[in-house]
Structure 1
Amino acid sequence: MRLGGRLAGAIEVLADIEARRRPVADALKDWGLSHRFAGSGDRSAIGNIVYDALRMKLSHAWLMEDESPEALAFAVLLRQWGLTAEALAGELEGDRFAPALPQAALAALSTRRLEDAPAHVQGDIPLWIQPAFEAAFGDAWIREAQALAERPSLDLRANRLKAPRDKVIAALEETGAKPSAIAHDGIRIAPGEGASRLPNVTAELTFAKGWFEVQDEGSQIVSELVDPRDGDQILDYCAGGGGKTLALSALMRNKGQIHAFDADRKRLAPIIERLKRAGTRNVQVHDRPQQLKALEDGCDIVLVDAPCTGTGTWRRRPDTKWRLTERSLEERLSQQQDALANAARHVRPGGTLVYITCSVLPAENEAQAQAFVAAHPDFEQKPALPVYQRLFAGAPEPWAGEKGALTLTPATTGTDGFFFSVMTRKAS
């Protein structure tokens, strides 16, 4: 399939997403099933165009003076993939599957400057979210928003229970894997440009052996910030698929005890196979709240990786940026409050409650932590930056809030956006 066919396929998918407001992964899967003649390289290139278009949807539309799927797809090739209008016309010439060049949009692109666009357009975020970004990042908010519109790397975590990082990197040499900048077990594969594909690392034999897991470096960093000791008793209250549970188990060298719980059994289900593959022996999995009764007032650390809007993962899931509403944010705030209150019952006197989100919105982060402490006077916030500086001396530092919480971002730490707050329960 030539570029014209790939471009046409991407336009179809973008139109489907717009018309049906469905997840991009579902739209791409359905397109592939209905176009079985398309090879893996074609599907990958189409996916890249679609994801790139959604990451910078607002600025593409403003510069092209056209928000149609056609304009967005062409803008990707011209703005993000580095083609000139002349080179693009040459690539598409004679390709019967190629869509027509949007001449009016191309003319607009040649005359408009992004610096003249409204601020939220420059940042490629919904207008109603702008005040939250301003509150979180001050004068740097546009750069922070723009970093969330860039392509993400593929991050892995070497499983120190099975293999050290250098051994994993050597085994993945053909993928271009390199050590991550901050996380001690982190491995990074650069995102690539244009139509280039990321390697399918889960097809590697070393993955089947449990040598590594796919995990964003930011998730690895906040797992390390929990700073567990070998003999700790830990409750991962919103464990999901178990990424942080696995990371904590490795940090604890399979010692102590971790209890992994999630109210959503479907999200929790993958953890069983992942634990087996990783060689993890100190984890118990729970799928009912009553199973945690014996842990009340008994855990050294309780981790709440709370449900959130996922604004920190917009690089990987750009379609969610445009589906986010004020109502869905309010629903998440309520869920977070419930999760914190329920999880806190399991923290022993003198123990620690860790609150994490993959969001960058203050309402989900600092505001929730402060509201919890205000409602629970036996808890107090503890500065997390000293722990970060001790564990990652010399590394780029995240945003530090007034009460000591941290926010990792693509612009500061080169990771997904993560919020990390520590609250200690006063000893009785």
Structure 2
Amino acid sequence: MTPAARLSAAIEVIGTILAERRPAADVLKDWGRSHRFAGSGDRAALASIAYDTLRRRASSAWIMGERVGEETPRGLVLGMLKVARGLDVDAIAALCDGGRFAPAPLSDKERQHLSQASLDSAPAPVRGDYPEWLDAPLAAVFGEARAEEGAALAERAPLDLRVNSLKGDVEKAGELIAHLAPAPGAWSPLALRIALEADGKAPPLTSEPAYLKGLVEIQDEGSQIAAILAAPPRGGQVLDLCAGGGGKTLELAALMDGAGQLYAYDDDLRRLAPIHERVQRAGAHNVQVRSPRGKADVLEDLAGRMDLVLVDAPCTGTGTWRRNPDAKWRMRPGALAERVKEQASILDAAAHYVKLGGRLAYVTCSLLDEENVDQVRGFLARHPGFHLVPPAEAALALGERGITLRAAALERPEGLLLTPRRTGTDGFFISLMVRADQAG
């Protein structure tokens, strides 16, 4: 496919995403199945255009004189070429020459917008590329910097790896994937970062021997930091209550040097399914997976025994918009309200398993106070036996890096908030609490 044909296909895909409100990944997969002639390079380029358009949906619409909810697929893609890829009107016109499989030529109005429009006078939700209804919640967290925080969330995410210390060290991993030019992480001593190609395409990491042998896992550096700050004790008893596919479970196992006992549970059997193969590949022999079984309480024997309970809570995922740009436009206020109720229920359940002197780590990939500091405050009010671990103390788990992390992150009494703009990671909130007496 020519670049112009890819552009036409992207306009078609964006139109389907907007009309059907389906996840972009599903729409792109369906497009590939119905266009077998398109090679892997074509599909990757198409996905890159589509995701870049969704990342910059509001600003792209603004540039073209449109607004979110009333925009056209063509206008969005053309606007993205200017705001995200920096193409001038002549370069865009060259792609839209009306030739075979190419988009129709630019109209006079489109030329005017592409050559003259700017974001200088745009409101914060447009400059930050997020839904208008989230402006107030984001302003409550970031104030006047909310547009800049949103804009950072509209950039492409890097490819972060975590070195599995049960299989080797960072030096060994770096040697095995030296051809990918990995760079050390800024915060996590276990992190390696690989730069993406110009079109946003990531290397086929899951085919690399280092991955197949369990030496490296794909995991954002912010997620790695969350597990490190939770500080699972070597030889202790740890429960990962919302384990999902096992990303943090595997890191906790490595941080524990394979000693003690780590229990992994999730109330959704489908989310938990990948963990079994991943645990085996990682060589995490101290992990015991507890799968839900109908109404049976499979965690009953763990009550009051845990040195650490990690709650990686289900959330709106506002901190992961770099990786899931279409999700922010499908998100609705009702979903936030449901998540808030679910988080409070999970936290209350988690308290049941923490022993006296044990800790509860609450983690979300959200930026919103409703899911972060408000949840912690509510939990402490309901469970007076728990007390906060000051972020300054929690950060000591990272050594000297913890000092610089605190300076970069948004620190609140309830925990640390990492963001792409501040820490170069996905958005993560990390709070630690300790059970000081049985009143909790």
User: What is the CA distance between 1:93 and its match in structure 2?
Assistant: 4.3
User: What is the CA distance between 1:55 and its match in structure 2?
Assistant: 0.6
Partners of 1:12 and 1:170 in 2: how far apart? 43
Alignment correspondent of 2:190:
185
Q: 1:320 to 1:55 in 2, by over 3 A?
A: same
Partners of 2:179 and 2:27 in 1: how far apart? 31
Where structure 2 has 5 or more consecutive residues not aligned to the other structure, the ranges are none
Partners of 1:296 and 1:281 in 2: how far apart? 22
Alignment correspondent of 1:364:
371
Alignment correspondent of 1:9:
9
User: What is the CA distance between 1:176 and its match in structure 2?
Assistant: 2.5
Alignment correspondent of 1:414:
424
Q: Trace 1:23-34 onto structure 2 (pairs within 5 A).
A: 23-34=23-34
Q: 1:177 to 1:106 in 2, by over 3 A?
A: farther
1:124 correspondence with 2:124: no
Alignment correspondent of 1:328:
335
Preserved CA contact (<8 Å) 2:196 2:203: no
Partners of 1:301 and 1:389 in 2: how far apart? 17
TM-score normalised to the size of structure 1? 0.96
Q: Trace 1:291-306 onto structure 2 (pairs within 5 A).
A: 291-306=298-313
Partners of 2:105 and 2:382 in 1: how far apart? 59
Q: Trace 1:82-161 onto structure 2 (pairs within 5 A).
A: 82-93=86-97, 95-103=99-107, 104-161=109-166
User: What is the CA distance between 1:94 and its match in structure 2?
Assistant: 7.3
The amino acid that maps onto 1:33 is R
Alignment correspondent of 2:230:
226
Q: Trace 1:228-243 onto structure 2 (pairs within 5 A).
A: 228-243=232-247
Partners of 1:392 and 1:75 in 2: how far apart? 45
> Which of 382, 386, 390 is the aligned partner of 1:379?
386
Alignment correspondent of 1:54:
54
User: What is the CA distance between 1:37 and its match in structure 2?
Assistant: 0.7
The amino acid that maps onto 2:360 is L
User: What is the CA distance between 1:179 and its match in structure 2?
Assistant: 1.2
Alignment correspondent of 1:307:
314
Alignment correspondent of 1:284:
288
Alignment correspondent of 1:65:
65
SS of residue matched to 2:359: strand
Question: Identity percentage over the alignment?
Answer: 47
User: What is the CA distance between 1:402 and its match in structure 2?
Assistant: 3.6
- Deviating more after overlay: 226-235 vs 166-175: 166-175
Partners of 1:106 and 1:217 in 2: how far apart? 41
TM-score normalised to the size of structure 2? 0.94
| Count of residue pairs the alignment pairs up | 427
Partners of 1:353 and 1:51 in 2: how far apart? 36
Preserved CA contact (<8 Å) 1:52 1:76: yes
SS of residue matched to 2:422: coil
Partners of 2:92 and 2:113 in 1: how far apart? 16
Alignment correspondent of 1:38:
38
Partners of 1:171 and 1:106 in 2: how far apart? 49
Partners of 1:122 and 1:101 in 2: how far apart? 28
User: What is the CA distance between 1:401 and its match in structure 2?
Assistant: 4.2
Partners of 2:434 and 2:200 in 1: how far apart? 46
